Amino acid sequence: MTNEHAIDVALVEDNDLFRKTLSGVINRSPNLNCRHAFESAEKALRVMEREEWAPDIILLDIGLPGMNGIASISKIKSLSPASKIIMLTIHDDDDNVFRAICSGASGYLLKDASPHEIIHAMKSVLQGAAPMNAYIAKKVLDLFRKLAAPPAHYGLTGREKEILKLLVDGFSKKQIAATLFLSYHTVDTHLRNIYQKLEVHTRSGAVAKALKERLL
Amino acid sequence: MTNEHAIDVALVEDNDLFRKTLSGVINRSPNLNCRHAFESAEKALRVMEREEWAPDIILLDIGLPGMNGIASISKIKSLSPASKIIMLTIHDDDDNVFRAICSGASGYLLKDASPHEIIHAMKSVLQGAAPMNAYIAKKVLDLFRKLAAPPAHYGLTGREKEILKLLVDGFSKKQIAATLFLSYHTVDTHLRNIYQKLEVHTRSGAVAKALKERLL
DNA sequence: TATTAAATAGCGCATTTGCGTGATTGTCAT
DNA sequence: ATGACAATCACGCAAATGCGCTATTTAATA
């Protein structure tokens, strides 16, 4: 069932059985065409380079022998930026997930995914989505929550927050006064109160705290 | 098909048809029991409080009339911390997604999800996963990549980075000099170079840039 | 070998900052 | 009406900062 306008898929997977099974499933799907199935990232990269081949989608095993899975992503992305990469993995190897994401992978599935899921994932990446296994999504969310910490409240008043913003933007007291049409002394007083509430003694201390704890 | 050990589901959704359809689907599923279906978060909260009811799962529409969808999450979580919340939404309204996540939602689906998808999502949240629509996952990933941005490089030398760290931690020039066993003047010179490379003219400017662009 | 970059150190000075110690006005809830 | 807060304004001063200009030593690199 080859099709001129089929979605061009590359498969990189060292396990023979899994590779053959999956490429079979792909080729039996309408509009999907698995032109090559490689057993290593190196081989895939070689062919992509030699034939200037830019697959629509690359299904990439993260636990490949030889080249690091993460390194492969970068190489592939530099060789063919438009190709969408969907990672396949057995373990939900925590750390690699995030590095893969930052390297430019568009999707992240576990190998126990059903053929249907994988096919569906391939179609949705092409529509700009990022199919992700729910367990992996959980890890992403957890880290996300940690990064987006609770906007700690130090009892800053509206005016104080306003002035703190200008402080973060590098304004001097004189400039803040001019901007807000206030006396220099008023700004000075507000700064003192901000310092006290934030328990700092310098403007950089206040700026650091404001940025670290997202007080704006 | 009521079952003593069924998963206890609450549904909060203002659209009558959608609510009735979905609760029907849930109740026809083995091991799932939709005890109550509310049309507003207020009503759900009232019943949960009065009956001390802690559902296993709460399917929550984000676009409810009355109480804010995000606010509902917080209230529910404080009333029943163990309940898993799966958000349902029509639009992928960017901003709310992140706030919902940070408020403690465990899953995020679009309303066009198939009954099968929703059922499957409910089972996977209970196993500790975070089922997420691929389009929403994309948004999370994009923000994630931005947060874990490429540590912009301003040509700072090792010593300069070291001093910049101390700057962010609120040290004065004198303190930095003492810490690094350097002359006050040396620290001063380093600071000048840092300022020049970062294109700022104050220590708070440097601190802000360092934190905003993660130069440490 | 010559050049460049990094790290070190110094002097002088105008400006800015942080802080002690005040005060006045308006609002809002008790 | 009586505090409690928020927001405003003021003087003075020691300390810290930012910056112009200069200079030495070492390590790397062309």
Asked if residue B189 keeps its beta carbon closer than 7 A to nucleic acid strand D, the reply is yes
Q: Is the pLDDT of residue A52 over 60?
A: yes
B26-44 mean pLDDT: 92
Cβ–Cβ under 8 Å, residues A199 and A161: no
| Residue B5 phi, psi (nearest 5) | -100, 20
Domain check: are B92 and B178 in the same one? no
Residue B204 within any structural domain of the chain: yes
Domain check: are A26 and A78 in the same one? yes
What is each CA distance from A49 to A21, A42, A103, in whole angstroms? 26, 11, 20
Q: Is the pLDDT of residue A204 over 80?
A: yes
Predicted pLDDT at A93: 66
Residue in B8, B17, B6, B7 with CA at minimum distance from that of residue B39? B17
Cβ–Cβ under 8 Å, residues B55 and B83: yes
A194-213 mean pLDDT: 95
Domain check: are A64 and A22 in the same one? yes
What's the CA gap between B47 and B29, in Å, rounded? 24
Domain check: are B186 and B142 in the same one? no
Residue A190 within any structural domain of the chain: yes
Predicted pLDDT at A149: 65
Q: What is the pLDDT of residues A91-117, one digit of tens each?
A: 656 677 777 887 889 999 988 899 889
What's the CA gap between B82 and B68, in Å, rounded? 21
Q: Is the pLDDT of residue B104 over 50?
A: yes
**What percent of chain B clears pLDDT 70, i.e. is strictly above it?**
95
Average pLDDT of chain B, as a whole number: 89
Q: How many structural domains does chain A have?
A: 2
Tell which of B147, B173, B204 closes a domain: B147
Domain check: are A123 and A43 in the same one? yes
Give the range of the structural domain holding residue B197, as residue numbers without chain letter: 158-212
Q: Is the pLDDT of residue B118 over 50?
A: yes
- Nucleotides of chain D in contact with protein CB (under 7 A) are 5-12, 16-23
A73-99 mean pLDDT: 84
3-state SS string over A48-113?
HHHCCCCCCEEEEECCCCCCCHHHHHHHHHHHCCCCEEEEEECCCCHHHHHHHHHHCCCEEEECCC
Tell which of B99, B125, B147 closes a domain: B147
Domain check: are B109 and B176 in the same one? no
A199-211 mean pLDDT: 95
Torsion sign across C-alpha atoms A120, A122, A123, A127: positive
Residue A153 within any structural domain of the chain: no
Predicted pLDDT at B102: 78
Give distance CA B170 / C1' C24 (Å): 35
Confidence of residue B94 (pLDDT cuts 50, 70, 90): low
Predicted pLDDT at A150: 66
Residue A121 within any structural domain of the chain: yes
Q: Is A132 on the interface with B (CB under 8 A)?
A: yes
Q: Among B133, B144, B172, whose Cβ lies nearest the Cβ of A140?
A: B144
Predicted pLDDT at B214: 83
Cβ–Cβ under 8 Å, residues A102 and A71: no
Confidence of residue B62 (pLDDT cuts 50, 70, 90): confident
Q: Is the pLDDT of residue B131 over 80?
A: yes
DSSP string, B111-160: TT--HHHHHHHHHHHHTT---B-HHHHHHHHHHHHHHT---------HHH
Residue in B27, B75, B96, B19 with CA at minimum distance from that of residue B9? B27
Domain check: are A170 and A89 in the same one? no
Predicted pLDDT at B93: 67
Predicted pLDDT at A1: 45
Tokens representing B151?
A: 């540590």
Residue B153 within any structural domain of the chain: no
Predicted pLDDT at B1: 46
Predicted pLDDT at A193: 96
Domain check: are A110 and A171 in the same one? no
Q: What is the pLDDT of residues A4-30, one digit of tens each?
A: 578 999 999 988 999 999 999 999 998
Cβ–Cβ under 8 Å, residues A31 and A7: yes
Tell which of A147, A169, A203 closes a domain: A147
Domain check: are B71 and B132 in the same one? yes
Asked if residue B196 keeps its beta carbon closer than 7 A to nucleic acid strand C, the reply is no
